[in-house]
Amino acid sequence: MEKIIVLNHKMNMRYSEIKDYIKILKKIDLDPIVFPTSIYAKDFIDNKIKTGIQNIYYKNEGPYTGEISGSQARSLGIDYALIGHHERRELFKESNEEINKKIKAALRDNLKVILCVGEKKADDYKKVLKKQIEEGLKDINDEIIIAYEPAWSIGTNEIPCKEEVKNVINYIKSLVNYDIIVLYGGSVDSTVIKDLKEVNEVSGFLIGGNSTNISELIRIKEVVK
Protein backbone atom coordinates (compact mmCIF):
# COMPACT_ATOMS: atom_id res chain seq x y z
CA MET A 1 0.00 0.00 0.00
CA GLU A 2 1.20 3.52 -0.78
CA LYS A 3 2.61 5.22 2.30
CA ILE A 4 0.98 8.36 3.70
CA ILE A 5 3.24 11.42 3.62
CA VAL A 6 2.65 14.15 6.19
CA LEU A 7 4.60 17.40 6.07
CA ASN A 8 4.88 19.42 9.28
CA HIS A 9 6.23 22.87 8.49
CA LYS A 10 6.33 23.88 12.16
CA MET A 11 7.05 27.66 12.39
CA ASN A 12 8.98 27.84 9.13
CA MET A 13 8.74 29.63 5.77
CA ARG A 14 7.88 33.19 4.82
CA TYR A 15 4.70 33.96 2.91
CA SER A 16 6.73 35.04 -0.13
CA GLU A 17 7.95 31.41 -0.47
CA ILE A 18 4.55 29.75 -0.29
CA LYS A 19 3.33 30.23 -3.88
CA ASP A 20 6.44 28.64 -5.43
CA TYR A 21 6.46 25.88 -2.83
CA ILE A 22 2.85 24.97 -3.66
CA LYS A 23 3.53 25.09 -7.40
CA ILE A 24 6.44 22.67 -7.10
CA LEU A 25 4.64 20.44 -4.60
CA LYS A 26 1.81 19.98 -7.10
CA LYS A 27 4.27 19.22 -9.86
CA ILE A 28 6.07 16.56 -7.79
CA ASP A 29 2.70 14.86 -7.36
CA LEU A 30 3.53 13.60 -3.87
CA ASP A 31 -0.07 14.06 -2.60
CA PRO A 32 0.92 14.81 1.00
CA ILE A 33 -1.07 16.11 3.94
CA VAL A 34 0.54 19.47 4.69
CA PHE A 35 0.53 21.16 8.08
CA PRO A 36 1.65 24.68 7.20
CA THR A 37 1.88 27.56 9.63
CA SER A 38 -1.84 28.29 10.11
CA ILE A 39 -1.85 31.77 8.55
CA TYR A 40 -0.79 30.18 5.23
CA ALA A 41 -3.37 27.36 5.30
CA LYS A 42 -5.84 28.97 2.87
CA ASP A 43 -3.28 28.96 0.06
CA PHE A 44 -2.91 25.19 0.39
CA ILE A 45 -6.67 24.60 0.61
CA ASP A 46 -7.30 26.78 -2.46
CA ASN A 47 -4.80 24.61 -4.32
CA LYS A 48 -6.66 21.44 -3.33
CA ILE A 49 -3.82 20.18 -1.14
CA LYS A 50 -4.85 18.14 1.90
CA THR A 51 -4.28 20.56 4.74
CA GLY A 52 -3.99 20.26 8.50
CA ILE A 53 -3.58 22.50 11.51
CA GLN A 54 -0.56 21.97 13.80
CA ASN A 55 -2.51 22.63 17.00
CA ILE A 56 -5.99 23.68 18.14
CA TYR A 57 -7.48 25.00 21.35
CA TYR A 58 -10.22 22.82 22.83
CA LYS A 59 -12.73 25.63 23.35
CA ASN A 60 -15.09 26.33 20.48
CA GLU A 61 -14.91 30.15 20.52
CA GLY A 62 -14.52 33.06 22.90
CA PRO A 63 -11.97 35.26 24.64
CA TYR A 64 -8.86 33.13 24.04
CA THR A 65 -6.42 35.53 22.40
CA GLY A 66 -4.04 33.92 19.98
CA GLU A 67 -5.80 30.56 19.88
CA ILE A 68 -7.60 28.82 16.99
CA SER A 69 -10.49 26.40 17.48
CA GLY A 70 -11.17 23.22 15.57
CA SER A 71 -14.44 24.62 14.24
CA GLN A 72 -12.63 27.71 12.92
CA ALA A 73 -10.08 25.47 11.20
CA ARG A 74 -12.86 23.35 9.76
CA SER A 75 -14.72 26.45 8.52
CA LEU A 76 -11.67 27.31 6.41
CA GLY A 77 -11.59 23.84 4.85
CA ILE A 78 -8.90 22.27 7.00
CA ASP A 79 -9.29 18.48 7.24
CA TYR A 80 -6.69 17.34 9.79
CA ALA A 81 -5.48 18.32 13.25
CA LEU A 82 -2.07 17.39 14.64
CA ILE A 83 -2.39 16.98 18.39
CA GLY A 84 0.21 16.42 21.10
CA HIS A 85 3.33 17.02 19.04
CA HIS A 86 6.48 16.61 21.13
CA GLU A 87 7.25 20.33 20.81
CA ARG A 88 3.79 21.20 22.19
CA ARG A 89 4.24 18.76 25.08
CA GLU A 90 7.77 19.94 25.84
CA LEU A 91 7.80 23.69 25.13
CA PHE A 92 4.17 24.50 25.87
CA LYS A 93 3.74 21.96 28.67
CA GLU A 94 0.69 20.25 27.18
CA SER A 95 -0.50 17.43 29.40
CA ASN A 96 -2.20 14.22 28.29
CA GLU A 97 -5.38 15.57 29.86
CA GLU A 98 -5.25 18.72 27.72
CA ILE A 99 -4.40 16.65 24.66
CA ASN A 100 -7.45 14.48 25.35
CA LYS A 101 -9.66 17.60 25.39
CA LYS A 102 -8.13 18.78 22.11
CA ILE A 103 -8.72 15.43 20.43
CA LYS A 104 -12.35 15.41 21.56
CA ALA A 105 -12.79 18.97 20.27
CA ALA A 106 -11.16 18.13 16.93
CA LEU A 107 -13.35 15.05 16.42
CA ARG A 108 -16.47 17.01 17.40
CA ASP A 109 -15.54 19.51 14.69
CA ASN A 110 -15.06 16.74 12.11
CA LEU A 111 -11.31 17.03 11.85
CA LYS A 112 -9.26 13.89 11.34
CA VAL A 113 -6.80 13.58 14.19
CA ILE A 114 -3.13 12.67 14.11
CA LEU A 115 -1.99 12.13 17.69
CA CYS A 116 1.77 12.32 18.23
CA VAL A 117 3.33 10.08 20.84
CA GLY A 118 6.92 9.22 21.67
CA GLU A 119 9.33 8.54 24.48
CA LYS A 120 12.50 10.32 25.55
CA LYS A 121 15.84 8.54 25.50
CA ALA A 122 15.89 7.59 29.17
CA ASP A 123 12.23 6.54 29.30
CA ASP A 124 10.73 3.09 29.50
CA TYR A 125 8.98 3.39 26.13
CA LYS A 126 6.16 1.01 26.98
CA LYS A 127 5.26 2.91 30.13
CA VAL A 128 5.32 6.32 28.43
CA LEU A 129 3.43 5.30 25.31
CA LYS A 130 0.78 3.46 27.33
CA LYS A 131 0.17 6.58 29.43
CA GLN A 132 0.15 8.94 26.43
CA ILE A 133 -2.28 6.72 24.52
CA GLU A 134 -4.57 5.70 27.39
CA GLU A 135 -4.87 9.21 28.83
CA GLY A 136 -4.85 10.93 25.43
CA LEU A 137 -7.62 8.70 24.08
CA LYS A 138 -9.69 8.44 27.28
CA ASP A 139 -13.43 8.18 26.50
CA ILE A 140 -12.80 8.43 22.76
CA ASN A 141 -14.26 5.80 20.44
CA ASP A 142 -13.67 7.44 17.07
CA GLU A 143 -10.75 6.18 15.04
CA ILE A 144 -7.67 8.39 14.84
CA ILE A 145 -4.17 8.15 13.39
CA ILE A 146 -1.08 7.92 15.59
CA ALA A 147 2.35 9.30 14.70
CA TYR A 148 5.09 7.53 16.62
CA GLU A 149 7.90 10.05 17.00
CA PRO A 150 10.61 9.15 19.52
CA ALA A 151 11.55 12.51 21.08
CA TRP A 152 15.24 11.64 20.78
CA SER A 153 14.89 11.27 17.02
CA ILE A 154 13.20 14.60 16.26
CA GLY A 155 15.67 16.86 14.47
CA THR A 156 18.67 14.78 15.54
CA ASN A 157 19.36 12.40 12.63
CA GLU A 158 19.23 9.55 15.14
CA ILE A 159 16.89 6.90 13.79
CA PRO A 160 15.67 3.75 15.50
CA CYS A 161 16.37 0.58 13.51
CA LYS A 162 13.69 -1.23 11.52
CA GLU A 163 13.22 -3.88 14.18
CA GLU A 164 12.71 -1.28 16.92
CA VAL A 165 10.17 0.67 14.86
CA LYS A 166 8.28 -2.52 14.08
CA ASN A 167 8.20 -3.62 17.73
CA VAL A 168 7.12 -0.24 19.06
CA ILE A 169 4.36 0.14 16.48
CA ASN A 170 3.07 -3.34 17.23
CA TYR A 171 3.05 -2.39 20.89
CA ILE A 172 1.08 0.80 20.06
CA LYS A 173 -1.39 -1.25 17.99
CA SER A 174 -1.89 -3.61 20.95
CA LEU A 175 -3.10 -0.67 23.07
CA VAL A 176 -5.92 0.27 20.71
CA ASN A 177 -8.93 -1.92 19.92
CA TYR A 178 -9.05 -1.27 16.15
CA ASP A 179 -6.50 -1.58 13.36
CA ILE A 180 -5.00 1.87 13.90
CA ILE A 181 -2.91 3.61 11.25
CA VAL A 182 0.54 4.43 12.66
CA LEU A 183 3.05 6.78 11.03
CA TYR A 184 6.73 7.07 11.88
CA GLY A 185 8.32 10.49 12.48
CA GLY A 186 11.76 11.66 13.54
CA SER A 187 14.56 12.81 11.20
CA VAL A 188 12.78 11.37 8.17
CA ASP A 189 14.40 11.88 4.77
CA SER A 190 14.39 9.82 1.57
CA THR A 191 17.03 7.41 2.93
CA VAL A 192 14.99 6.69 6.05
CA ILE A 193 11.86 6.13 3.94
CA LYS A 194 13.73 3.77 1.64
CA ASP A 195 14.73 1.73 4.67
CA LEU A 196 11.51 1.84 6.69
CA LYS A 197 9.02 1.51 3.87
CA GLU A 198 9.56 -2.25 3.95
CA VAL A 199 8.10 -2.34 7.45
CA ASN A 200 4.42 -3.13 6.91
CA GLU A 201 3.47 -1.74 10.31
CA VAL A 202 4.58 1.75 9.17
CA SER A 203 1.65 3.24 7.24
CA GLY A 204 3.44 6.48 6.45
CA PHE A 205 5.84 9.19 7.54
CA LEU A 206 5.64 12.50 9.40
CA ILE A 207 8.35 14.77 8.08
CA GLY A 208 9.45 17.92 9.93
CA GLY A 209 12.79 19.45 9.05
CA ASN A 210 12.78 18.16 5.48
CA SER A 211 9.18 19.16 4.79
CA THR A 212 10.22 22.50 3.30
CA ASN A 213 13.20 21.08 1.41
CA ILE A 214 12.01 20.72 -2.17
CA SER A 215 14.95 18.66 -3.47
CA GLU A 216 14.46 16.20 -0.61
CA LEU A 217 10.72 16.02 -1.37
CA ILE A 218 11.56 15.13 -4.98
CA ARG A 219 13.80 12.29 -3.72
CA ILE A 220 11.06 11.20 -1.32
CA LYS A 221 8.59 10.98 -4.20
CA GLU A 222 11.05 8.69 -6.00
CA VAL A 223 11.51 6.27 -3.09
CA VAL A 224 8.01 6.24 -1.66
CA LYS A 225 6.36 4.48 -4.63
The residues that touch ligand PGA, with contacts defined as CB under 6 A, are: 8, 149, 154-155, 185-188, 206-209
CA separation, residue 119 to residues 7, 15, 85, 132 (Å):
21, 34, 12, 9
- Report in angstroms how near the CB of residue 139 gets to ligand PGA at its nearest: 26
Between 56 and 207, CB nearer to ligand PGA? 207
Between 73 and 193, CB nearer to ligand PGA? 193
Cβ atoms within 10 Å, residue 206: 26
Catalytic residue among 9, 85, 87, 119: 85
Asked about 85 being catalytic, the answer comes back as yes
- Report in angstroms how near the CB of residue 6 gets to ligand PGA at its nearest: 8
- Report in angstroms how near the CB of residue 141 gets to ligand PGA at its nearest: 26
Q: Where are the alpha helices (DSSP H) in 114-176?
A: 125-136, 162-174
Catalytic residue among 94, 98, 119, 149: 149
Cβ atoms within 10 Å, residue 75: 10
User: Taking a C-beta distance cutoff of 8 angstroms, is the pair 56, 70 a contact?
Assistant: yes
How far, in Å, CA of 58 to CA of 56, rounded?
6
Between 160 and 208, CB nearer to ligand PGA? 208
- Report in angstroms how near the CB of residue 59 gets to ligand PGA at its nearest: 25
Between 108 and 219, CB nearer to ligand PGA? 219
Max CA distance (Å), the chain: 48
Amino acid (one-letter) located at 166: K
Asked about 86 being catalytic, the answer comes back as no
3, HSE (Cβ side, Cα atoms, 13 Å)? 29
Please list the active-site residues.
85, 149
